[in-house]
Amino acid sequence: MATMENLTPEIQHIFDAKEKRRKDLAALPIAEKVRMVVQMQRMAYPILKDRDPRACIWKIDVSENKKGCKTP
Amino acid sequence: MEKVLQTLNSLVEDGVLGQYAIGGAMAAMFYAEPVMTFDLDVFVVLPHQGLLITLTPLYDALQKRGYEAQGECVNIEGVPVQFLPAYNPLLEEALKEAEEKLYQEQIPTWVLRVEHLIAICLQTGREKDKDRVRHFCNEAQINMEYLQGILKQHGLEEKWLLWKI
């Protein structure tokens, strides 16, 4: 069985790409990150609404044409 | 989000809050990748804070602005905001040394420094705090000398050695 110390180059490439993706996300403007959070809330709300009383979708304007946001 | 921050700033201008700084997941997002959250944690210093810490004047001021409490939070412009008074020396220091940042390059706000966020995670000690520390270590620019000073001051060095990557 493969361990974290014994990864094939293909799997290592996937992990490296994931790491790069995290760093790219970390470097985004904060307003873009907020837009992504609201998107995550939209995705999670139907799943969590019955078991997490905090589950909600922020009712804020996250239109993509605002400064600092990108159109998906 | 702009309206939320403007409301927080107006609370400081009107003397309802002595100081505020964003903490929790939203603060983490200023330094690392976005993470799922449902509320905005805001640490506050209340003016003329005596022995009894009460959020009642703050809640009253928010109600006058049309923002109602919903459980532990106050819904401000569509975002549940949880106000947390600085309840220990680490949080008091974190608030005092919070950084001013611009949201959308326009609206000033205050955010806890990443080094204090790490120390707060260590002090709180939940599994999700461990994850957050890992994200900070991978993604944030950490002033290690500054962090070491905080950890020493608040007795968190041992836990840092266990948690850091």
- Tell which residue, B43, B42, B55, B45, has the closest CA to residue B18: B45
Distance from CA of B137 to the nearest CA of A (A): 11
Domain count, chain A: 1
Give the Å distances, CA to CA, from A5 to A11, A19, A22: 11, 16, 21
- Of B73 and B117, the structure prediction assigns the larger pLDDT to B117
The model's confidence at residue A69, banded by pLDDT at 50, 70 and 90, is very low
Asked if A43 has any chain B CB less than 8 Å from its own CB, the reply is no
Cβ contacts of B47 within 8 Å, gap of 6 or more: B15, B16, B17, B18
Residue B51 has pLDDT above 70, yes or no: no
- Spatial separation of the C-alpha atoms in residues B12 and B16, rounded to whole Å: 6
Q: Is residue A45 part of a domain?
A: yes
pLDDT band with cut points at 50, 70 and 90 for residue A67: very low
Instruction: Please compute the mean of the pLDDT values over residues A9-32 and round it to a whole number.
Output: 86
What does the pLDDT average to over B106-133? 93
Q: Is A71 a residue whose pLDDT tops 60? A: no
Better-scored residue on pLDDT, B146 or B139 = B146
Q: What is the pLDDT of residues B128-139, one digit of tens each?
A: 899 999 989 988
- Residue B12 belongs to domain with CATH number: 3.30.460
For residues B130-149, give the mean pLDDT.
93
Q: Is B137 on the interface with A (CB under 8 A)?
A: no
Region A44-69 average pLDDT: 76
Which pLDDT belongs to residue B74?
92
What total of structural domains would you count in chain B? Answer: 1
pLDDT at B142 over 50: yes
Q: Could you tell me which chain A residue has the CA closest to the CA of B140?
A: A26
CA angle B73, B78, B80 (to 5 degrees): 20
Looking at residue A19, what is its pLDDT? Answer: 84
Asked if residue A13 belongs to a domain, the reply is: no
Please indicate, yes or no, if residue A2 is contained in any of the structural domains: no
Find tokens 């995550």 and name the residue: A40
Q: How far apart are CA B103 and CA A29, in angstroms?
A: 9
Non-local CB neighbours of B69 within 8 Å, separated by 6+ positions: B59, B62, B63
Residue B36, chain A, CB below 8 Å: the answer is yes
Tally the residues of chain B: 165
Query: Is A5 a domain residue?
Result: no
Contacts of B37 in chain A (CB under 8 A): 37
- At B31 the pLDDT is 93
Q: Which domain holds residue B51?
A: 2-163
* Domain around A58: 30-62
- Best of B104, B128, B137 to mutate (most A CBs within 10 Å, chain A): B104
Nearest to B24 by CA among B129, B103, B150: B129
| A71, part of any domain | no
The one-letter amino acid code at B59 reads Y
pLDDT at A53: 86
